[in-house]
Structure 1
Amino acid sequence: MSKLGLDLGSSSVGWAKNVGGKIVKSGVITFNTGMSKGQSGGYVSPTRERREARAKRNLIKSRKYRKWELLKVLAEMKFVPLDEQELQIWSKYKKGSTRRFPENEKFLKWLACDFTYEEGENYKNPYVLRVKALNHIVTKHEFGRALYHIVQRRGYKDIGETDKETENQIKRRNDDGFKKALDIHGTVAKALNEEFLKKGKRARNQYPLREEYKHELEELCKAQGYNIQKEGKEGYKNKFVKSLWKAIIWQQPLKTQRGNIGKCSLEPTKPRSPISHPIFEIFRSWQFINTIRYYDDDGEKQVLSQKIKQALFYEKFLKKDSNFKFEEIRKFLDKRFQKAKRYNYPIDRKTGKYDTSVSGMPVCKGL
């Protein structure tokens, strides 16, 4: 009897022909890998650069849309020297015409924090304006410019997951003194202005969180006389404050992946059950139990009795919250049979033990 063994790699295939338990011929076939060399020397997917570029484009696009949404709210309330038509020309695509940034002189001065066009002050930077708006009543245009500065960088939203880069940024918050400054001054604008800008340090290098910007937004609105009381979890009673929150802080939830769920192989008209569903865990466990066979004294495969199956399910599977090896099932069954048996699963040649991985029932055990 002849057997062909293959070892598949990313740039090669190793093969060997086994006849009667002996390898009679072997070799290696090499080919160009589907991966490309990275800067650090390893291999990376050729789509990585496209993916990273797409992520950057999406980030720029979402930031631009937030700015337009905020400017729309501010224009309606006369908080910015910009009329609706100018905003439409800049933000809306129209076939046959190009988008054009507003060339309104007052709007350009508004962006530069120069309010001399309405006999106001010319601020050194937007942080000084934000600090003033936290402590005093300011004009509509000054308040609008402070809000527009916040929407440009609204902080990192903590979703409970951290990677190496995030951990480094959080560590830097403490090392650079930003966390301490925030504890002293209470808001992002005051912390950055008092402890960084006034001391000649860069404010952009810090790592504020989304919740800290949300707190400053509420403090700004409160200082300008707006009601920041809430209705429910995120709904504010004041419509203007609610519209500001939606334009600056609100983040669109992730798109549902329900359309990617395949159909059940047993009931093709229905979607597959989630793997975290207790019923699926029970089905998966019984499906595996029903595949177990043992060899009798004559070398014939035999099915487990219903009594042993029930015991295996309740005493072994239901008590496992993670994957385990078939070797544990072997020990359990041998104890039931009161003698060592051979089973229809492969044995590792090095260890002499059954190495097949078996799924546990973490959800059912937790219930």
Structure 2
Amino acid sequence: MKYRLGLDLGTNSIGWAVYSLDEDNEPEKLEDLGARIFSDGRNPKSKEPLAVERRTARGQRRIIYRRKLRRRETFRLLQKQGLLPLEKDEAQSLKLMNPYELRIKALDEKLEPFELGRVLFNLSVRRGFKSNRKDGSQEETKENSKSEKLTQADKCSNLSNAIKKSGYRTLGEFLWKNKESNGGTRFAPNRMDYYPVRQLYIEEFNLIRQKQEPFYPDVDWNSICNKIFFQRPLKVQEHGKCQYMPEKERTFKAMPCAQKIRILQDVFNLTFIAEGKSKKLLPEWQDEIIKLLDSKEKVTFKDIRKKLDFDENITFNLESETRDFLQGNSTAVKLRSKNRFGEIWNSLSLEEQDDIVECLITAQEDSDVQKMLEKYDLTSEQKNFITKLVLPSGTTSFCREFSENVVNKIEENSKIFADSAERTERCQIHNVIKELGYNYASQTVEKCDVLPYYGKILAGSTMGAKSNPKNDEERFGKISNPTVHIALNQTRVVVNALIKEYGKPTQVVIEVSRDLKASREAKNKMQQKIAANQRQNEILNKKIKDANSSILFPNRTDRLKYKLWEELDPE
């Protein structure tokens, strides 16, 4: 039977209808219809993906388990080294010893074996915070300097300075002898303006070892140190695959190649509207705009008109109620500042700039960044400012190799072709991609009798593929958005069931967005509402940063929480 399949795709439902067709492929009769209801994979109250709640709980369980495991293994190692008793009752009695008094005593005289074991085990229980340089807690920003609330980085710095001014040798000595003024020896929230970093505990361990090692030369101090202070590196997150080079991972939006490819594409897509006609920009105008975007984080269309000496009535095709600016090269602006690379940045090749930014984003230790900066003629102050810089880790749809090749080709074409029309055409990203011989990841599609798993088709949009797959989802990965993942799978179930019942459809019609039916007046109202929401979000982002400077990139959840806090009227 020849039939037309109509589908209405929603977030948690699929409506379908089967129409038989006549010889001219016109609808003849409604054969069947129905709907399939399913969960969208999100919490109905918070709208957060259910996987987020499971992942958060799983992460907490792992932290608790690993903490207990580390302490248990440290305790057994100290027993093996003869520094803690083997009998449980005798070990329990050691809790009566004050570890802080023993930590001070260990700096000046020999401790008994079990006293030394009590000190070392106490250091493993309270071993301090080891900062991940990518969390943004240590970056020095304008918001940090204006905020009255102390950040975690401020509290860490306060503690280090307080220990130096007090003249005490270690953190343990400082805490015990100042316990009354500090309100105790614990770093409880809101009790003191201090926060301990792991380095302070490592320094104390080294001083204790320096004094006690001559008395205990047979103790394996290196193994004890590693067991107490070792921390697993963060798991490397998958970025998804490039749409044109599926074997490569997507690169970061902050990478210079990604910033440049966006700027170049915006400029070569840009036209201006004068006297009701759309006109292309001259090559020299395009170059001026590219230089302007490369020098600023954000450039308004008003600034572009001023730069090109255009009349105020002239508008641009990319200008709208919701978009009154073009995004500039924020990465270059930050790294080109005098307190970082300065003029050195402009002398580096695109590939070398990408290497630097990739290290800044992926490095987990400051030492990794400092080592990378050794080959550049920079002052120690500049190196410190660069190390403290935290860049966003969001990704584009392309890999680094693809982005660099496209940028280099666009820049090459812009120099070769002087004519505005030909230059703009040759610099369009789709023409450059074609010229370089790249093929879109999903262009080679096999014909199938039934719908296959969507990951096989959308090879450049899925994540999480495994080397030893048990099913198609593990073999090809899945889209990270749970609602889309579920909807596509349910569509496959419905369509394949109908194919089994009626055979393959002659036509398939899918409902498109209802917004397309809106009038011009209705669309203008939508644009104005979106623009108002964007302005409101910018205001909320600034308020959130002023209230909590550790949040560098506020998200939707942060804005919702802040709105709720304002509605509660904290004043």
Q: What TM-score, normalized by structure 2, do the two folds share?
A: 0.41
Matched, 1:301 2:278: yes
Richer in helix (by share):
2
- Letter of the 2:184 partner, please give it: R
Alignment equivalent of 2:199, drawn from 199, 202, 211: 211
SS in 2 for 1:185: coil
Matched, 1:265 2:246: no
The residue that corresponds to 2:495 in the other structure is: none
Q: CA deviation at 1:296?
A: 4.8
Alignment equivalent of 1:202, drawn from 181, 184, 195: 184
The residue that corresponds to 1:102 in the other structure is: none
Between the two structures, name the one with larger relative contact order (CA 8 Å, sep ≥ 6).
2
Matches within 5 A, 1:234-273: 240-257=220-237, 259=238, 261-273=239-251
The residue that corresponds to 1:28 in the other structure is: none
Q: CA deviation at 1:181?
A: 9.3
Q: Distance in 1 between matches of 2:153 and 2:263?
A: 42
Q: Distance in 1 between matches of 2:226 and 2:156?
A: 30
1:127-183 alpha-carbon deviations (Å, 9 max, x no partner):
222222222112333212210111111123345616968559939977xxx946983
- Letter of the 2:301 partner, please give it: F
Whichever of the two has the greater Rg, that structure is 1
Q: 1:166 to 1:151 in 2, by over 3 A?
A: farther
Alignment equivalent of 1:361, drawn from 329, 334, 350: 329
Q: Distance in 1 between matches of 2:61 and 2:154?
A: 23
Aligned residues: 272
Q: Distance in 2 between matches of 1:272 and 1:255?
A: 17
Q: 1:270 to 1:205 in 2, by over 3 A?
A: closer
Q: Distance in 2 between matches of 1:171 and 1:211?
A: 11
Query: 8 Å contact 1:327–1:355 — kept in the other structure?
Result: no
The residue that corresponds to 2:155 in the other structure is: 170
1:55-99 alpha-carbon deviations (Å, 9 max, x no partner):
5434322321221332343233232233xxxxxxxxxxxxxxxxx
Q: Distance in 2 between matches of 1:169 and 1:50?
A: 33
SS in 2 for 1:290: helix
The residue that corresponds to 1:330 in the other structure is: 305
Which deviates the most, 272-281 or 286-295? 272-281
- Letter of the 2:329 partner, please give it: M
Query: 8 Å contact 1:35–1:45 — kept in the other structure?
Result: no
- Letter of the 1:317 partner, please give it: L
SS in 1 for 2:85: coil
SS in 2 for 1:301: strand
- Letter of the 1:249 partner, please give it: F
- Letter of the 1:220 partner, please give it: I
| Identity rate, percent | 25
Q: 1:181 to 1:128 in 2, by over 3 A?
A: farther
Query: 8 Å contact 1:181–1:191 — kept in the other structure?
Result: no
The residue that corresponds to 2:560 in the other structure is: none
Q: What TM-score, normalized by structure 1, do the two folds share?
A: 0.61
Which deviates the most, 161-170 or 69-78? 161-170
Matches within 5 A, 1:272-291: 272-291=250-269
> Over the residues paired in the alignment, what is the CA RMSD in angstroms?
4.0
Q: CA deviation at 1:253?
A: 1.8
Q: Point out where structure 2 has 5 or more consecutive residues left out of the alignment.
A: 1-42, 139-143, 189-194, 337-344, 346-571
Q: 1:208 to 1:313 in 2, by over 3 A?
A: closer
Q: 1:239 to 1:200 in 2, by over 3 A?
A: closer
